[in-house]
Structures are given as structure tokens and as C-alpha cells.
Structure 1
Amino acid sequence: MKSTISKISIGLLASMSFCVASAAEKPNSKDLAQEIANPLTTMVIVPIQTEYNDNIGPEDDGTRTTIFVQPIIPIELNEDWNLITRTILPIIQQDDIFPGAGSQSGIGDISESLFFSPTEPTDNGWIMGYGPYVQLDTASDDYLGFDEHGIGGSFIALTVDGPRTYGFLATQYYSAEGSIGDSYSNFFIQPFYDYTTEGAMTIELTSESNYNWNEDQWSIPLTITASQYFEVSGQPILFGGGFKYWLESAPGDPEGLSLNLNLYLLFPK
């Protein structure tokens, strides 16, 4: 799983938003562009991320294209707490990921994160969220998923300093069938640093890294993306792309440089 991939990916609260503004003030384009950097937003956001990887497998012959659909839906529990749901649905097309594997296409394992988050940041300005993580065995082909359900927990912390938003997301998850963690036990961590310009472009530097405890193996990609805000028929969106370079690859991971495109649909209150 690459929760961003994540980034997921991923992938990552108006009451905990990046800007200090009057409740009656309508967010401007820069505010909305910076909102994509807040995984705990109380704005509904639907990121659709497409990633192309090659140099996969023992002979570096494999290729994979993945579309990650990652709706983020906030729920106001009460005046003190919010619940943010983050779903990741991967749609995959891959070829020759190892000798004799052939081609596969379909959906991968769907993951669901639930973040319980206080509506107020800490005294030093940090926004927190934590809760359960579930990975569902939904892959349409054995080569597209783990072939097991998974469970775990996630924690996220971020802060905003003017145009800058930075923090990290961490998830520990295990196989949930048979002996817990017997098939896999993985730790995912995603530090991120985002800068939003006056022209409503958000530039992000992140690393969606995964550590396999059973194999004692890191996967460490470094990603840089840029996404520009604009509106289409009144619908706020951000569109952009970037590059991912694999600093450390586990067996079966891509190597070298990967490409990605990002589309964010924003639904302000």
C-alpha cells in the first residue's frame, strides 16, 4: 500500500484551517488553493491522482499506471470535535511486474482512515487528528492487492505559518487474518511541506515512505508537485503534476523517476 500514493495519495478543517479570517468572509482563491495542503479540512475535497511508474520487478520490465480517487469528507460531531473520513480507491493497469505475470487491470485494495480531530489547534498552533485505519481486500486480481484485510491506526499533525503548511501523517497497519501481522506489518510515514503563492499555486514537497517490518525494508520516494487553482463553470479546482524519485526501493517497487498528475475538486461551504 502506498497511501498517497498515496499519498497518497492520498490523499491529506475549516475550523482548523490554514487562514485566520472572519466566519462571514468568503475564502479567496489563495485560501482555497492552500486548503488542499490540510488533510484535516472541513471542506469536502475529492483528489484524483494519476501516477505512472516503470522499472518495476527483478528485471525492471514492469510498468504500472494507478488512478487514486480519494474523497475527503468531514463530519461535525459537536462544537469540540470533527470526524474526517478519507477513502482511497486505487484503479490500476499494470504489465510485467515480474516475469510471467502478464497484464492486470482493475481496482486494488480500498483503504479507509477515520480521523477524530479537535476543532481548536493546540496552544502552539498544531492541528491534530487520530483514529483507526482499515484496508479492505477488494482487489479484483490477486496481483493488485494484499489478498487480506488489514487494520491499524493513523495519526496526523500539521501547522500553518503564513503561506506554508507542514506536518506529517503516520500509519501502522497489519494483516488482519490468521495471526495479526503475520502476512504483513507496515509502517507508513508521510512528511509534507507545502507553499501557496499569491497566485494560488500550491507547491508540495513530500515523501510517502513505507517500512516493511517483516522484511526489514524501506521504500522511500521523494515527490515534488505544483497545482494551480482555477474555476470551471464556477467549480473550484486545482490541477497540476510533478515527479517522484525513488531514493530507496523494495523488491517489486519502481525505481528511478515516476510521473504524476493531480486534479482536486473543491466544495467550499
Structure 2
Amino acid sequence: MTHTHIISTSVFLLSLTVLLSSSTVLAEPKDSKSLAQEIANPLTTMVIVPIQYEYNDNIGPEDEGSRHNLFVQPIIPFEVNDEWNLITRTIVPFIDQQDIFPGAGDQSGVGDITASFFLSPVEPAGGYWIHGWGPVFQLDTASDDYLGFEENGIGLSYVGLTVDGPKTYGFLTNHIYSAEGSLGDTYSNTFIQPFFDYTTEGAMTFELTSESAYNWNDDQWSIPITLTASQYFEVGGQALLLGGGVKYWLKSADSDPEDWSLNINLYLLFPR
């Protein structure tokens, strides 16, 4: 599968996701600033479909590898009852990579899909702390052995945040074990994502975050710092945010990039 085919396939899947998800919600007017701020909330009660492209290089022991990532990440909430919501967050990665280690060659296709389920109370704890928890599954869907872990994984996930005027801040964390054979025998990974977002009166959201990970089996940290800016628009009645930013790798594991990465982000919003 070529990089062009990856883009075409992902656009098709995105269109299908949008059609399915938009049929489950009713549009009501909201001001643009409030909508722009919703992208910072992993426990949002509206359907959001983020599409994130990222380019990385300087990968591998000889720093000669490069990778194009395209992540399609639909967030779909469900009302369980008057007191609880269930928020689903699925990450589908499309990958095109070259020479990530000597002799690896090129690979293109789908990586492992991650699906998280957050049970979240409707009323914030203490009146300000929005949080949710639940299982997370890593599915062995990679189309090439070099694009995934070659095993299914299972774990627990938690997210907590607060909204303070134009500011949204909190963290998301999970831990995933390989689920085949002895639990965690192949991999045991902790993911930690603190985030701080600020939304302006002009409906632009700035985000500072770190999608850090620790590999317990290999005793390795991955610590990138990302700064992005996204502006709210409406195109043909469709609410969306478009932006991008940079990522700097403070600490890289053996399979990570080094120095700087670039990203472009598109968020499709479907207000209730």
C-alpha cells in the first residue's frame, strides 16, 4: 500500500465515520469559542472526529528512518442514564515509514487500533473536576509486522480535567499489557498525557501537551513536548478546527524520532 493509498483509504473511512456519527446527534447552536474549546476535552459530550498528520525523521539507531503518521480518532459519547455518560475514543493509525532500522526497508498500511471506553459522571466531582475511567484495548490490526506489536493488548485508562474560563487542563493516562500468553510478557506500556489549553475570544485554541510513554520491559522513556494552535471555522455549515504545530523530543526510545516533528490537525465537530 503506497502513501497515496493510505491517504485515500483514510479519507474514505473518515467519511464513513462522519456519516454514521452525525446521524446520532442533533445540531444546536453554540458560540464558536465554546465549540473551539471542546477539542481540549477528551470527555466531550459532542461527537468529534480529529484527523492528525505527523511527519517524523531521525528514527532508529542510525537516525536514518522517517515516518508519516495519519491518525483518525473519532470520539463518540453515549448517554447511559441521567447520571452517567460513556465516551468512546478510537485511534486508527495509517503509517508510511522507511528505514526505521537497518535492513527494515519500507512499510505502508494500518497500525494497531486502540479503543478506549470512559464511564464519566454527568456532574463534575466537587463541581469542577470532570473525569472518567474504563478499559482500553489495543487490537492486533497492523497490516505489516513492522507496523504494530503483533499481539492484542488490554489495560485501564483514566482522564481528568477542569475548565477554568478560557483554560482547560488535566491529564489522560493508561497502561496496556500484552494479552497473549503471560499478561505483559511481550510489552507493558504506560502512557501519560498532561495537557493545558487556552481558547481565545477569536475561537483559536492553543495547546501545550506531552504524550509521554514508559516501556517497562525495556526500561525506556519517550517524552515529546507538543505545541499546537487550531482555529475554528465553519464550511458549508460544518463546524471544524484547523491548525498545526511542532513537537520536540526531550527523550527518545530506540524506535522514536529525535529532535523535531511537524503536525497538521483537523477536527470535525458535531454539536448535540
Instruction: Look up the equivalent residue of 1:135 and give its one-letter code.
Output: Q
Is 1:129 the counterpart of 2:132? The answer is yes
C-alpha deviation, 1:123, in angstroms: 1.2
Coordinate RMSD, CA, aligned? 1.0
In the TM superposition, 1:161-200 aligns within 5 A as: 161-200=164-203
Higher helix share: 2
Counterpart position of 1:113? 116
Q: Find the aligned partners of 2:243 and 2:148 in 1 and give their Cα distance.
A: 28
Instruction: Look up the equivalent residue of 2:156 and give its one-letter code.
Output: G
Counterpart position of 1:92? 95
Instruction: Look up the equivalent residue of 2:203 and give its one-letter code.
Output: A
SS at match of 2:102: coil
Q: Find the aligned partners of 2:269 and 2:257 in 1 and give their Cα distance.
A: 31
Q: Find the aligned partners of 2:215 and 2:127 in 1 and give their Cα distance.
A: 33
Counterpart position of 1:246? 249
Counterpart position of 2:261? 258
SS at match of 1:42: coil
Instruction: Look up the equivalent residue of 2:165 and give its one-letter code.
Output: G
SS at match of 1:179: coil
Which residue of 63, 67, 76 maps to 1:64?
67
Instruction: Look up the equivalent residue of 1:93 and give its one-letter code.
Output: D
Q: Find the aligned partners of 1:55 and 1:67 in 2 and give their Cα distance.
A: 18
Q: Find the aligned partners of 2:112 and 2:175 in 1 and give their Cα distance.
A: 16
Instruction: Look up the equivalent residue of 1:242 and give its one-letter code.
Output: G
Q: Find the aligned partners of 2:142 and 2:126 in 1 and give their Cα distance.
A: 43
Which residue of 24, 28, 48 maps to 2:31?
28
C-alpha deviation, 1:124, in angstroms: 4.8
Deviations 1:174-224 (A, max 9, x none): 000010000000100000000000000000000000001111111000000
Instruction: Look up the equivalent residue of 1:206 and give its one-letter code.
Output: T
SS at match of 2:269: strand
SS at match of 2:109: strand
Which residue of 45, 50, 57 maps to 2:53?
50
Q: Find the aligned partners of 1:49 and 1:261 in 2 and give their Cα distance.
A: 6
Instruction: Look up the equivalent residue of 1:198 and give its one-letter code.
Output: E
SS at match of 2:61: coil
Give the share of equivalent positions with the same residue, in percent.
Answer: 73
Where structure 2 has 5 or more consecutive residues not aligned to the other structure, the ranges are 1-27
TM-score (norm 1): 0.90
Q: How many residues align?
A: 246
Deviations 1:19-55 (A, max 9, x none): xxxxxx8310000000000000010000000000000
Is 1:209 the counterpart of 2:212? The answer is yes
Instruction: Look up the equivalent residue of 2:29 and give its one-letter code.
Output: K
Instruction: Look up the equivalent residue of 2:249 and give its one-letter code.
Output: W
